[in-house]
A and B are shown apart, each in its own frame.
Chain A
Amino acid sequence: MTRGHALLRDRRAVIGLGILSVLVFVALLAPLLAPMDPNAQPDILRTRFLAPLSAGPDGTMHWLGTDRFGRDILSRLMYGSRISLTVGVLSVAVSVVLGCAVGIAAAVGGGWIERALMAVTDTVLAMPRLVVLLALVALWEPSLLLVVLVLGLTGWMGIARLARAEVKGILARPYLDAARALGVSGPRLMWRHLLPNTMTPVIVAAALAVGNAITLESGLSFLGIGVPPPAPSWGSMIATGRDALVHAPWIATFPGIAIVLAVVATNLIGDSVRDVLDPTTRTAGVDRG
């Protein structure tokens, strides 16, 4: 049985992949699927604070209601998925590249290089991430790119530690010596033998990190220092809804459900990939379902 089959036999992976595909689908086709322009404010007095399942003055259905500017929440949610997924995937990509570079360099370099790199890793790890994020994002001009970079640059440490541990483990194995004895060159050794074999735990950590990055982005946007308005970030939608919690609770509720769905999906996939790819958890007979 291939790993792909094993993954598809796992209910968690199927549910996670299902939710994620819907999100990706919606994000890609947002302009086609969304009932209206996410930033349109048609008739502010008559279309604001419409409850879910109510029609606007022009007869258009607002499935999830409108916010205090009369903007359609379903449309904003759909466009918002673009921001969340972009930030989640790109920032984790930054973390993975940086983390692997640091981790592999430390493991291969050894000696003082390893000690220095790991000291840096531990230092950044000791910094309370949100506090650093707050300081960085608030002091520089907010933008989508900044959020991606800052999340990526503060999220690589766990991956660096994993990559280092994996590479050290593999360096000690005889097959690498065998490859070297057969005359395999350095770069080829790296790409063909070292990287593919260190990737398993890194992929798992990356999947889990995507959910974390989505939560953090929404949090920064909630505090008003993430992706700048009027972009419909789920976090800033919740912030708008918080001010109208008493008479329009739906505004804050729906974006939160969207975040939970996205995070649960990535966590399910991460958990499942870990159990499928990591043979030790299978031989130990552990069922993390």
Chain B
Amino acid sequence: MLHKALRRLAIGFGLVLAVVTITFLLINLAPGEPARLWVAPGATEAELENTRRVLGLDRPLPARYVAWLGDFVRGDWGTSIAQQRPVVRILGGALPHTLLLSGGSLLLTYLVGVVVGAFQAAKRRTAWDTTLTVGNLVIFGMPAYWLAIMLVLTFAYAGARYGWPVWLQFPAMGVASLDADFLTPWGRVIDRLRHLALPLVTLSLIGIAGTSRFVRGAVLETRGQAFVNAARARGLPRLAIEGRYVIRNALLPIITLLGLSLPALFSGTVFVEVIFAWPGMGREIVTAVGARDYPVVMATTAIFAVLVVAGNLLADVLYAVADPRIRERPA
């Protein structure tokens, strides 16, 4: 068991290393001259040459890679070209915002998604099921950024224009109001939550649509299997069959889905952060990419890769916890 865990950890580490290496190569082989971003427009060739030397850009690619990797591992992630601040400090400020948003959405997605999917399976072929199936299909087909814009249109703009009750109106951007410092501590919490509402709902709605589609199928598939029939034949009460046999087995593939859905979740986060001016990693990378801010792009990619790999490892562990067959299988 320990051996297996260590092996998985080593593989995960290798994956992250491979991802940052590929990113490094992609960025360094792309057309465009990073040194130009540092000098004023109209700099002479000599000044450009000097900048390249100072930044170490005149050295061969492998040497730069080794130097960069060494610094990176030691926690020196360089300085942002656009913001002239240490990358560590920029991303250190952004990461909690992204984790709050994506973590909250993950929680809602699976809690609500499993309930909705199981409900649909229980009410199969009723009007409820049909309505929810169509709803899931449509929401699942929406680009996150468009859903976000439509929610802003409805709950921020239309709400204000037509004077909806306050609890139906939500702020369209940022994490807190400008006057948040003057609010009572309790008021500040409410203010934060109100700002979180629309971004969180955007991400979660799409996640819930995908998850409940999956759960509905998984529950129905499990219910058709022989061991469920056997349990029914033994005269077990319906609730026991559903709870102990069907749901538990149907939930197993959902754990795998959890690991696999992380990249999509982070993609959604990028768009949602851009729309809602949410100061997280996604907005940071979009700005950095636009400004060709290489150090920030590198670091953000690395962090996203770590999160994805860690999520998959977590899913593996959860799977082993939930399914004794996996746990006891020899490595």
- Chain A residues within 8 Å of B, Cβ to Cβ: 119, 122-132, 134-136, 138-141, 211, 215, 218-219, 222-225, 235, 238, 241-242, 245-246, 249, 252-253, 255-256, 259-261, 263-264, 267-268, 281, 284-289
Contact = CB atoms under 8 A, between A and B. Distances in A.
Given A134-B289, A138-B290, A219-B145, A253 B150 contact: yes
Contacts of A249: 153, 157
Contacts of B220: 286-288
B227 to A, nearest CB: 13
Contacts of A281: 221
B158 to A, nearest CB: 8
Nearest to B297: A135
Interface stretch (B49-57, B193-201, B266-274): B266-274
Contacts of B124: 287
B141 A211 contact: yes
A130 B270 contact: yes
14 contacts: A119-B18, A123-B19, A126-B16, A126-B309, A127-B308, A128-B266, A130-B266, A131-B285, A134-B289, A222-B143, A225-B289, A260-B138, A263-B142, A264-B137
Looking at chain A's contact residues, the main secondary structure is helix
Interface stretch (B20-28, B77-85, B105-113): B20-28
Nearest to A122: B15
Contacts of A259: 141-143, 146
B305 interface: yes
B289 A138 contact: yes
B60 interface: no
Contacts of A136: 26, 30
A196 B267 CA distance: 34
Contact of A218 (B138, B143, B267, B308): B143
B133 interface: yes
A256 B22 contact: no
B141 A134 contact: no
Nearest to A261: B141
B217 A286 contact: yes
B312 interface: yes
Contacts of A138: 289-290, 292
A223 B305 contact: no
Interface string B263-293: 1001100110011000000000110011010
A168 B258 CA distance: 26
Given A126-B309, A139-B32, A219-B271, A131 B300 contact: yes
Contacts of A127: 19, 22-23, 263, 301, 305, 308
B283 to A, nearest CB: 11
Which one of A131, A256, A261, A268 has the greatest number of beta carbons of chain B within 10 Å?
A131
B270 A256 contact: no
Given A130-B270, A252-B153, A267-B140, 18 more contacts: A128-B308, A131-B266, A131-B300, A134-B285, A135-B26, A136-B30, A139-B32, A219-B145, A222-B271, A225-B289, A238-B149, A242-B275, A249-B157, A253-B150, A259-B146, A260-B138, A260-B146, A284-B224
B152 interface: yes
Interface residues on B, range: 35 or more
B262 to A, nearest CB: 8
Given A123-B19, A140-B31, A288-B217, A128 B304 contact: yes
A134 B142 contact: no
Contact of B305 (A128, A219, A285): A128
Contacts of A140: 30-31
Contacts of B266: 128, 130-131
A87 B133 CA distance: 28
Given A130-B266, A135-B26, A141 B31 contact: yes
Contacts of A246: 157
B160 to A, nearest CB: 10
Interface string B94-125: 00000000000000000000000000000011
Contact of A238 (B22, B30, B141, B146): B146
Nearest to A222: B145
Contacts of B31: 139-141
B15 A123 contact: yes
Interface string B206-242: 0000000000110011001100000000000000000
Nearest to B146: A256
A246 B156 CA distance: 10
Interface centre among B19, B140, B297 (most CB of A within 10 A): B19
A130 B266 CA distance: 8
A167 B79 CA distance: 48
A210 to B, nearest CB: 12
A288 B220 CA distance: 8
A68 to B, nearest CB: 16
A128 B224 contact: no
A223 B289 CA distance: 11
Contacts of A264: 137-138, 141
B286 A223 contact: yes
Nearest to B307: A128
Contacts of B290: 138, 224-225
A215 B144 CA distance: 9
A286 B224 contact: yes
Contacts of B267: 128-131, 219
A212 to B, nearest CB: 9
A132 B18 CA distance: 13
Contacts of A135: 23, 26-27, 289, 297, 301
